[in-house]
Amino acid sequence: MARRLGRQFYDSDHEIEARTGVRIPVIFEHEGEDGFRQREAQTIDELTQRSGIVLATGGGAVLRAENRERIKSRGTVVYLRANPHDLWLRTRRDKNRPLLQTADPRARLEQLFQERDALYRECATFVIETGRPSVNALVNMVLMQLEVAGIVPSTPDVAHGVPDSALFEGAPASLSKDDANVGGQDATPPNGDDQGQATPMSPVRDNFPR
């Protein structure tokens, strides 16, 4: 998606990991979910002030009102809506999702979906039901909506290929006012392998306890 639009791609979760030097489960272990959400809110605030980007957010980003307000007011938000069963298929082998490390992750996904779906819709400029299309088909669906709305110019290469890393499925997505951001409901590419090449925002490192 980012490459098709000729924009830089950022992932808020990857940015947090780059700043702290540890994986998200370690942050949850040391600081709890509240500590992680505070870091997430700060990162999203900084990233959404940038222009010309595509931004993928973590699934729980919409839980905080300030995050919802920032992505709505600073971007065009595309919610790539996936049902809990498809989300479970994409995330069942992912050990980097602390909220899913339970005895019944499928039931947990159902619960999270019920809690978050309305919040995603509150933020969304567009809601796209993902189903199980190819990455190319899903990117084309998003671009068509953006082009029809006049948010991005018509692109002659819409039918061309796009790498899996450019789009996150099962996610709310955001495009900045004059640009584009795309983000997520614990988003994972359709092949279940997160290979997105996020652009590092800065070399700044937090003093994370070890």
Annotation-wise, does 74 bind a ligand? no
Annotation-wise, does 68 bind a ligand? no
126/147 Cα distance (integer angstroms): 12
Tokens of 117: 């779906």
Specify the DSSP class assigned to residue 188.
Answer: B
Annotation-wise, does 157 bind a ligand? no
The pair phi, psi for residue 110, each rounded to 5°, is: -60, -45
Q: Is the dihedral of CA 9, 12, 13, 19 positive or negative?
A: positive
Beta bridge partners of 55: 10, 174
Q: How many CB atoms lie within 10 A of CB 92?
A: 13
Annotation-wise, does 194 bind a ligand? no
Q: Is 115 left (phi over 0), alpha (psi -120 to 50) or beta?
A: alpha
Residue numbers in the known binding site for substrate are 13, 37, 59, 116
Binding residues for ATP: 97
Q: Which residues are annotated as a binding site?
A: 13, 37, 59, 97, 116
